[in-house]
Amino acid sequence: QVQLVESGGGSVQAGGSLRLSCAGSGYAYNSMGWFRQAPGKEREGVAAIDNDGSTSYAESVKGRFTISRENAKRTLYLQMNSLKPEDTAMYYCAADPRRWTAMQALGLPWRFWAIWGQGTQVTVSS
């Protein structure tokens, strides 16, 4: 059974840091990414990483967030630094067996992605 399980969310003050993890099972994924959805807003791509380790980031998180993966463990990470109140959202891990570049992956509508985790809440207070 293909499954993604996120962890690491929580509540922090502005300027703080969190590290999200996403443990995968089932089979290997070529493309992986993080998305987020705030109340009343559309789900948006935050960062993506391809099987070669190339990465792509949304403009709003560049320089603050870092995506990484451990293929042997089928685990995806998102290190989030200098958090802002506008980063508050439910964060979702996504994976897909198709081979996209990281830039392609981040530009795709979220509905294109095949596999999703249940989400982990991140709340940043001012």
- The answer to whether 18 and 69 are in contact (CB under 8 A) is no
Provide the pLDDT for residue 29. Answer: 86
Residue 73: per-residue pLDDT: 77
DSSP annotation of 39? T
Closest CA to 79 of 34, 6, 18: 18
Q: What share of the chain has pLDDT > 70, as a percent? A: 100
Using the predicted structure, report yes or no on whether residue 15 has a pLDDT greater than 90. Answer: yes
| Distances 50 to 35, 78, 84, 94, 115 between C-alpha atoms, Å | 15, 14, 27, 12, 15
